[in-house]
Each structure stands twice: as C-alpha cells, then as structure tokens.
Amino acid sequence: MTNPLILNERSQSGKKCLQRGVKLFRQLFDLARQGEAVGVSYAQFVCYLHGVSSFEDIAHRSYVRADTPLVLQLAKQVTDAVGGRQPITREGTTIRVGMDSFIWRKDKPHVRPRASFTGTPYTETEWKKVFPDGERRLLKPDEFLA
C-alpha cells in the first residue's frame, strides 16, 4: 500500500489532486495580492488536494508531526506545477511565495515554524509583512473554489 501523502503525478488521481492544488494556490495567491492573509493548515491542505473533509479520510488516522515533510513535498509539487514561486508585494515588501508560504499551523495566530524559513527565499520578518500577525486566517471549507 502506498502512502496517500505521496502524490504520483502520472496517475489520474494524482493529476486530479495536483489540479486541485494549483487551484488552491491561485486562490490563496489572488487573496494575498488583494491584501488578505489567508492560508491553510497542514492537514487542511491535504484534504483540499484529495477533495475530502477530514485528514482521517485519507490517512485513516489523525495528522501527526511526522506527516509535515510529506506535506511540504506536496506543496513543492504544487509550486512546481504553477511555474515556481510567485512574487507578492505588501507595504513595500516583496517575497516569492510557493504553496508552502500558505501552509500554517491551524491554531491562531497561524504561524509557520521558524525552521520553515530556512528553505525559503525570504525571512520570517519579510513573510510577516506580507502575512501580518493578527490578520492571518485559514481558508474556510466553503470558500475553497474547487
């Protein structure tokens, strides 16, 4: 049995998941360009990709921290599918965002772990200027433009 968090882009289901991920990225990117700080949680991202309402529907268990590297691998696949990181500017600060830029902890204030900034072309301070404290929120399920 394969891990459902590993996306096979050659399979029909993998292509469909990737298409959903591209739509999600574009939606979040457009919101960010409009000045809205909207993202998704790690488990929520997987759910949107697979078109399900709970992580348990995919993994048959709750989300655990060990899932994070695979979720970030999925985010990289989505970023690659949209042509790479895209520039977002807010209040004079421009960062190049990928899908990982929009994946945050589910609890307020929806931060990203400090370690997540080691692999990005921007700093935590720059990211917070584009996605300010107090303004970040998660995309509601009924907002997703599947």
Give the pLDDT confidence of 50-93 residue by residue, as tens digits.
999 999 998 899 999 999 999 999 999 999 999 999 999 999 99
Q: Where are the beta strands (DSSP E) in the chain?
A: 38-41, 86-90, 93-97, 103-104, 137-138
Q: At which residue do the structure tokens 């970023």 appear?
A: 79
Q: How far apart are CA 77 and CA 99, in angstroms?
A: 9
Mean pLDDT across 137-142: 92
CA-CA distance, 15 to 23, in Å (whole number)?
12
Strand partners, 93: 90
Tell me the whole-structure pTM to 2 decimals: 0.93
Please compute the mean of the pLDDT values over residues 105-114 and round it to a whole number: 92
Where is average pLDDT lowest: 90-94, 98-102, 114-118?
A: 114-118
Tell me how crowded residue 50 is: count the other CB atoms within 10 A of its CB: 20
Q: What is the pLDDT of residue 66?
A: 92
Whether the predicted pLDDT of 1 surpasses 80: no
Closest CA to 102 of 92, 120, 118: 120
